[in-house]
Structure 1
Amino acid sequence: MKEQKRYEYGIARDAHAQLERWVADGSAAGLDGTVWDNRDDGHSTVNLDQLPGMERHMYSKADARTRGWGLQLQTRDNVTVGNSSTAHKQIDKGSQPRCAYSLPSGLSALRKQYTSNNLYIYPSHMDHIAGNIRKEKKQTKKWGNGHGDMYPTNTPYLIITQGSSGTDQPFIRAVGWTIGSFPKAVRKKLEAQGLLMPTVQSLMRLHQKNVSSREDYLSGQAHPAVFDRRNLDALQMMQAAHEMRPESIPPLVQLQVLSEDNMRAGYDFIGPPLLTEKHFTSPEVIARIWRGYPQRRVMQLSAKDTINPSGARLKYHWVVLRGPTDKVKITPLAPDHSEVQVEIEYPGRTESTWIDGMWSNRLDIGVFAESSQSISAPAFLTWMTLDNEQRNYDQQGNLQSIDYGTGRYVDPRLAVGMPFRDEFQYTGGKISGVTRNWKDGRQQIVQGGSRPEATDLRNAITAASKTAPSPELSSAKQPAKPSQRTVSPTLSEREAAMQRLSSSFNLELPTLLRRSTQMQGVDLYVTLNHIIRQAAASGDAQTSAIAYERLSREFTGDFEGCGEQALAQLAAGSKEHLTPSDVRSLCLMAIRIHQDVAGLDDMGRSQRIAQLAVSLARRTDDIPLQRDVIREVSLSMP
């Protein structure tokens, strides 16, 4: 590594000098108007003297460790190159990119940056360590003893660097020098059309030291999820940028899903209503997670909307970059290959062809547009299988069993392990029943219908999911029987009670909550409703959850939406301000709200609350809680 750093120092001197010469003779745009956004409080820095014209965005002392720390999900107006050599404590000390990739909202934020002339660089930390260790959550930096490639998708939105703190620095400099090396007219056009960072990505990937031919570029060797600083060639990136002209700007591939197999929670796999295989869909990244039972997926995709700045004729390439090529069939549907059909057989876990010992559950297909003068950065179609599942298919492609209790690690934001194995029975080639074998020796046999989509099979799967709740959660999760609950009071009754009780609403919430134990009827309803709202406004998750539990136990109705509003308000607050106990209370509150709304036959609200409940549970490392939440919102869906 010392030798590598000495080499990089030499490159920095040469690159800095070259950029200054080009700027001085007017052939390069330089870096005026660009910003470096450091988001680790100076932990991993670059010398801006080597990037003349680039300015550092300054955070206040208070913001440096809060709003200016870690993963950046905002988009800056200026051309921005950013970094943060930090890990993300919410996902088992995983990297910042894995945090973003695990959530559709995170990917959406990264896409906005990418198309708005922002590019951020983060280390992979321990999310990309060679090895095939699967059963431990604990990670290591020891090469050969890692979990492998843990990213659920691959994108051009970021640059992820191999290693930890400081490995981002040579990439920050290389990206900065490349931006400064474009001729003025080229940089102006790139910025105006949102093509600056896609072009930087194509140059970085094309001019790696381990990429010596077009064939290399159109392979997984050039497009890993994580990049090694030893392959970075900053001087070649600069030269290519300096030689670029408006007519040679590379295309930007834009994908569209024309059709695909749709798997539905409760029908084709176990899960809450909003859980889906469609993790993220954008013109540059289509990310899917294999949840449904069938062994095969078929998609039809188009790249006809590709942005083509040069106007030249384009040729398209669809290439398996990682994963088993023998399980992928790509059939052109148009002469220029701008439309294709992709057929994929369940890919499972495989070792990288390009990096020894780098195992992954992800399949990557890259899509490239090539003209006579340039070739694009890839757009991606990715499929991730869940490593906590052990699936067995027969020779006809029929799923024989899924073991959800393997103990193998999976990102808790994507799935949770469950302590049972499902075995499937078939009638006439269709699933007709499920036998569930629990780890404690219990067995349940449930008969379903003759079609996987049939309602009776959905009921069979749901019935097979039922199990006694854990004793700790049972009292909180069991809804009161309707006969024990009172209909919510009318508006006029509530208004009269609010006037009558107005003075008591000035009491502190703990005092008011104690007094409410002596109340009943409309007075109790109005008081609990008030406590729920006020506790949420002050960030008191525990009090809000306790008050809602009592309100739900005593009354029927939607309670003017007070529970949903409070839950959303508390969940939207700073994650650092919610203790594990707070999150647990909010999860139980969400389950009860979901049960109440399910009884109102409002699928839209029910689904929103189910999604929020699962999202809350996945903020924790409490796998049993995650399992309970997923089971409960699945079983109480309408």
Structure 2
Amino acid sequence: MRRIARLFLGVIPFLLLPAVAVADEVRLTRDALVPVGPSLWAASGIAPPEEDRSLPIVGAGNTADGARLLRHLAGRSDINGFAGILYDNRDRGHSTLAPDLFPRLARLAYGPDLVAEGLDYGLAGRILLPGVVFGNSSTAITSGPVPRSQSRLAMTSALGQALSARLYERNAIYVYPEHRDHDAEDLFPANWPYTLTSQGSSGSDRRLLIAIAMTLAAFPADTFAAMRDKGLVAPTVQMILRRNLATVSSREDYLTGQAHPTVFNPTQVRIGRMVAQAADLAADAIPPMVRLRVMEEGFRPQAGLAGLDERLFDTPSAIARIWRGFEWQREMVVSAGQTQDPNGRPLRFEWRLLRGDPARVRIEPIAPDGRTARITVAWHDPFETPAPEGGEDYDRRVSSRVDIGVFAENGVQDSAPAFVSVSFPAHQKRRYAEIAGEMRLVSVDYDARARGAYYDPVLFWSAPWADRARHDASGALAGWDRTLSDGRSLAVPPNGAAAPDSDAPPAYRIDRTDPAQPVLRHVVE
């Protein structure tokens, strides 16, 4: 049965307008969940209802760019519409798509038992839903010692990384606001295609939701079925959104950083062009999902004074590293060789620097078709990202991350990007200089707390000292002359952290007494 939605005028909130028929809700309760892993369930026995094509595909009050085009396309009856698509709001209606915007669109409703457990709220992924799903949670972690957006939460937790990558391959795409993670400074440790993050706070996600809904509805039915069956809905939507930003006018633009920001300015999204591109995409032209694998690398499982892992995550379409060691330059060999075109078309690969200093990043394709590349990155101090042409003033901000995009081109379409990201500890003040013919670390001030410099307590730490390096005649690091915050001086060995194969106790420990500002302590202090 159809549901009836009553509409209200925003300027006259108590004026009741005529009821409008909309698609049924899909109700999900605890007894419909089947455990498939730790804190992970699959929703069995539910499915989006059959699309009622007697309802309008776009509501009369929906005046978004592209609405008229979508109505016209729906009249031709060869597009998928909202068949097999489910909308999942995960903020309990705080920032939701009004039912009358898309009357045919089925919406997920959580039973009170799942609400009581919090499984309806915040970051998506713990419940795997059937069909094609898009949704949002206009929420953020605003209390406690580690405030952050839902997107940054996902990037900085092993569970969030795994769930986000899994959703991407299961035809699901979610939108979250950046909420203070992307204002004067970009605080994200990586870039990835798994989620969409909107510039702003509550409500900033709605335009992106409208764009996704209209794009999904516009695909030809056979194209949609092929994407769904091959797990390529989310990558294709990501490609179309990025290709149709106001700052992107050509293929060459698409292969630059202005098409692939960490966070999207909703005003730059051209929905009508997205709808048109989706409607024109043939089933035999669907681009692949780029899959990456690290073959060799200089980033280590134990690095820096604290001996922490430099590998933030390795997922199919995003690889992220954190620079913890003392080196001036690092190297990786990355392969996209596991990427396959869904229609068997031959692929060529583009590796493009999207963010960072071109003088300090070198990308050398190895295979003739570009499937493998050697990436060399030198240390970056914090730098200002320029606002893209046609962008807003607030598109300019400080960053401490290098992004490399990997694109597969099948002769018809470029794929969504896969990313290789390298994040630098911007809270440390480092100085490098040429010694014995090579660039080497000369000094580093670790005392971010004393300087009032922000650092992510999940990933980094502060220490109450500054070090000046001592080098031997060959230029090798011989030790550190350390000045403590109380004025005392110490001479310490090159690497206080025990070697991986050593039974010696560690020279340092991370003190998390204040979880918002962890501090590295010298054991012998």
TM-score interval for Structure 1 and Structure 2 normalised by the shorter chain: 0.7 to 0.9
Does 2:456 align with 1:411? yes
Corresponding residue number in structure 2 for 1:270: 305
Taking structure 1 as reference, are residues 456 and 440 closer, same or farther at Cα in structure 2, changes over 3 Å only?
Answer: farther
Q: CA deviation at 1:627?
A: 2.6
CA offset digits 1:209-260 (Å, max 9, x no partner): 2211111111111100011111111111111111111111012211111100
Letter in 1 for 2:236: T
Corresponding residue number in structure 1 for 2:216: 179
Tell me the secondary structure at the aligned position of residue 112 of structure 1.
helix
Tell me the secondary structure at the aligned position of residue 224 of structure 1.
coil
For 1:426 and 1:263, how far apart are their aligned partners in 2?
A: 22
Corresponding residue number in structure 2 for 1:553: none
Letter in 2 for 1:358: R
For 1:45 and 1:377, how far apart are their aligned partners in 2?
A: 26
Q: CA deviation at 1:410?
A: 1.0
Q: CA deviation at 1:364?
A: 0.6
Letter in 2 for 1:154: N
The answer (yes or no) to whether the contact 2:329–2:376 under 8 Å persists in 1 is yes
For 2:500 and 2:316, how far apart are their aligned partners in 1?
A: 38
Corresponding residue number in structure 2 for 1:110: 164
User: How many pairs align?
Assistant: 451
The answer (yes or no) to whether the contact 2:341–2:410 under 8 Å persists in 1 is no
The answer (yes or no) to whether the contact 2:348–2:370 under 8 Å persists in 1 is yes
CA offset digits 1:56-106 (Å, max 9, x no partner): 211245644722222223232231111111121346542111111112321
Match of 2:250 among 213, 218, 222: 213
For 2:165 and 2:398, how far apart are their aligned partners in 1?
A: 27
Tell me the secondary structure at the aligned position of residue 58 of structure 1.
strand
Q: CA deviation at 1:48?
A: 2.7
For 2:485 and 2:230, how far apart are their aligned partners in 1?
A: 56
For 2:177 and 2:498, how far apart are their aligned partners in 1?
A: 46
Corresponding residue number in structure 2 for 1:306: 339
CA offset digits 1:474-525 (Å, max 9, x no partner): xxxxxxxxxxxxxxxxxxxxxxxxxxxxxxxxxxxxxxxxxxxxxxxxxxxx
The correspondence of residues 494-509 of structure 1 with structure 2, limited to 5 A, is none
More strand per residue: 1 or 2?
2
Letter in 2 for 1:406: A
Corresponding residue number in structure 1 for 2:403: 364
The correspondence of residues 357-396 of structure 1 with structure 2, limited to 5 A, is 357-395=396-434, 396=438
For 2:481 and 2:60, how far apart are their aligned partners in 1?
A: 63
Corresponding residue number in structure 1 for 2:238: 201
Does 2:487 align with 1:441? yes
The correspondence of residues 313-352 of structure 1 with structure 2, limited to 5 A, is 313-352=346-385
Corresponding residue number in structure 1 for 2:227: 190
Corresponding residue number in structure 2 for 1:72: 124
Tell me the secondary structure at the aligned position of residue 316 of structure 1.
strand
Taking structure 1 as reference, are residues 14 and 279 closer, same or farther at Cα in structure 2, changes over 3 Å only?
Answer: closer
Letter in 1 for 2:398: W
The correspondence of residues 99-248 of structure 1 with structure 2, limited to 5 A, is 99-129=153-183, 146=184, 148-248=185-285
Corresponding residue number in structure 1 for 2:322: 289
For 1:627 and 1:91, how far apart are their aligned partners in 2?
A: 14
Taking structure 1 as reference, are residues 456 and 165 closer, same or farther at Cα in structure 2, changes over 3 Å only?
Answer: closer
Letter in 2 for 1:127: D
Corresponding residue number in structure 2 for 1:28: 79
Taking structure 1 as reference, are residues 26 and 99 closer, same or farther at Cα in structure 2, changes over 3 Å only?
Answer: same
Corresponding residue number in structure 2 for 1:422: 467
Taking structure 1 as reference, are residues 445 and 248 closer, same or farther at Cα in structure 2, changes over 3 Å only?
Answer: same
For 1:165 and 1:376, how far apart are their aligned partners in 2?
A: 30
Tell me the secondary structure at the aligned position of residue 240 of structure 2.
helix
The answer (yes or no) to whether the contact 1:40–1:64 under 8 Å persists in 2 is no
Corresponding residue number in structure 2 for 1:398: 440
- TM-score normalised by L of structure 2: 0.80
Corresponding residue number in structure 1 for 2:387: 354
- TM-score normalised by L of structure 1: 0.66
For 2:522 and 2:176, how far apart are their aligned partners in 1?
A: 35
User: Identity rate of aligned residues, in percent?
Assistant: 34
Tell me the secondary structure at the aligned position of residue 394 of structure 1.
strand
Corresponding residue number in structure 2 for 1:505: none
The answer (yes or no) to whether the contact 1:446–1:460 under 8 Å persists in 2 is no
For 1:448 and 1:149, how far apart are their aligned partners in 2?
A: 32
The answer (yes or no) to whether the contact 2:305–2:497 under 8 Å persists in 1 is no
Taking structure 1 as reference, are residues 300 and 412 closer, same or farther at Cα in structure 2, changes over 3 Å only?
Answer: same
RMSD between superposed Cα atoms in Å: 2.9
Q: CA deviation at 1:17?
A: 4.7
For 1:17 and 1:346, how far apart are their aligned partners in 2?
A: 50
Letter in 2 for 1:73: G
Larger radius of gyration: 1
Does 2:519 align with 1:627? yes
For 1:231 and 1:363, how far apart are their aligned partners in 2?
A: 23
Tell me the secondary structure at the aligned position of residue 467 of structure 2.
strand
More helix per residue: 1 or 2?
1
